[in-house]
Amino acid sequence: MLTAEQLKGIYVPLVTPFRDGGELDLDSIGTNAQAVADAGAHGLVVNGTTGEAPTVAWEEVAVQFREIRERMAGRSSVPIVIGTGTNDTAATARRTEAAGKLGADAALVVVPYYSRPSQEGIVAHYREAASAGVPVIAYEIPSRTGIRLEPETAQAILELDGVIGIKDSSGRTGLIAELKRLGCAKPILCGEDAFFYAMLREGAAGGILASANCRTAGFADVWRFALAGRYQEAEAAFGRLLPMIRLLFREPNPAPFKYVLAKRRRISSDTLRLPMTPVSSALRPELDRLARALDAEEAAGAAGGLTETCGNIGVRSGYTEGMSIQQEDCRS
Ligand SMILES: O=C(O)C1=N[C@H](C(=O)O)C[C@H](O)C1
């Protein structure tokens, strides 16, 4: 199981591919997981926001996990985290325990949404979840949960035995700065793609980033540059990702991601489950351009690092420049 020391680098929250009829597409699930692992992901997340957790049944989470585990056989250095958080504490604890039985390395537990509990209630929620015996990563995302963690609450959660870190999708750097000021030593992972570089500057240990479904290696380079204290290069590498990030988040996640992955034939279909709907016809031509640029980038990389550009979406295969930085095994 994952420890706080091991929780760092780029974790990819996987999409949950469905067939046209809406049922799970296990082939695509395995293919996508393998592709991001091959591209240098340090960890995978099943059943996150990007995985459409609200409409995926627990049995389907288990089936996906087993498929990915099988495809990852022999790659013990790629931990798999399962999203287990709900707004019901007892159900969250049960799911967290079940994730451990499946073999998950950690559980991602979102702040209980909708009910708007007190800050004490939120800490108690995490105390119960962590008592299931599976390492817990807390997940702060006020834009979705309807409630914001006070820094002292986040600190109290991080001090719980069994909580190994926090994913901060607050969309600002205030929480991480305050947690660092309070002396928090557990890892804080960025969960808001556009803030990745800013949060690395504040001491983030990595990120759980939906955009890393598309350019995993590029995000890993930003992280490695920052880890090496080479901030100018990290900023430049992040600048090359930012137009893509903005494009992918122009409509509700994960519709644009699924569209691009389907275009690139990593998954068989961009089907979503309602209430999520496909991308608009206005966005499609831009995503088509991105998919083509990513294909070209991959082909150039495979051919030895030729540079492909796609001006107005900022895709360049310059990530090969980061190869001089040593790959870090996050579980060592
Ligand atoms: O699925 C996730 O985990 C993420 N979800 C966030 C969201 O959709 O709000 C975005 C982040 O990139 C990772």
- d(CA 36, CA 217) in angstroms, rounded, equals 8
Band (pLDDT 50/70/90 cuts) for residue 77 is confident
The ligand 1 atom at the shortest distance from the C-alpha of residue 208 is 13
As for the ipTM of the complex, it is: 0.94
Of the ranges 44-53, 69-78, 203-212, which one carries the lowest mean pLDDT score?
A: 69-78
* Separation in Å, CA 312 to CA 112, 165, 287, 293, 315: 39, 36, 12, 11, 8
Q: Which H helix or E strand runs over 258?
A: helix 255-263
Asked if residue 312 has pLDDT above 90, the reply is no
Sketch out the chain's domains with CATH numbers. Answer: 9-324 (3.20.20.70)
Q: What value does the mean pLDDT of the chain take?
A: 91
Which of 8, 167, 258, 263 does the annotation list as catalytic?
A: 167
Q: Which pLDDT does position 245 carry in this prediction?
A: 98
More confident residue, 327 or 181: 181
Band (pLDDT 50/70/90 cuts) for residue 314 is very low
This prediction has a pTM of 0.92
Residue to mutate (ligand 1; options 45, 253, 272; most atoms within 8 A of CB): 253
Asked if residue 318 has pLDDT above 90, the reply is no
Q: Which pLDDT does position 302 carry in this prediction?
A: 65
Of the ranges 65-79, 97-111, 244-258, 311-325, which one carries the lowest mean pLDDT score?
A: 311-325
- d(CA 109, CA 91) in angstroms, rounded, equals 11
Q: Kindly report, residue by residue over 24-37, the tens digit of the pLDDT.
A: 999 999 999 999 99
Q: Kindly report, residue by residue over 269-306, the tens digit of the pLDDT.
A: 999 999 999 999 999 999 999 999 999 998 887 654 43
- d(CA 11, CA 331) in angstroms, rounded, equals 13
Q: What is the arithmetic mean of pLDDT over 153-182?
A: 97
Structure tokens at 278: 């496909």
Q: Kindly report, residue by residue over 114-161, the tens digit of the pLDDT.
A: 999 999 999 999 999 999 999 999 999 999 999 999 999 999 999 999
Answer for the pair 260, 291: CB distance below 8 angstroms, yes or no: yes
Cα 325 to ligand 1 centroid, rounded to whole Å: 27
Which of 11, 139, 197, 259 does the annotation list as catalytic?
A: 139
Q: Taking CB atoms and a 6 Å cutoff, what residues make up the pocket around ligand 1?
A: 13, 45, 48-50, 141, 169, 191, 193, 208-210, 253
The helix/strand/coil state of 199 is helix
- Of 67, 86, 81, 54, the residue nearest 24 (C-alpha): 67
Rg of the chain over Cα atoms, rounded to whole angstroms, equals 19
Q: Which pLDDT does position 74 carry in this prediction?
A: 76
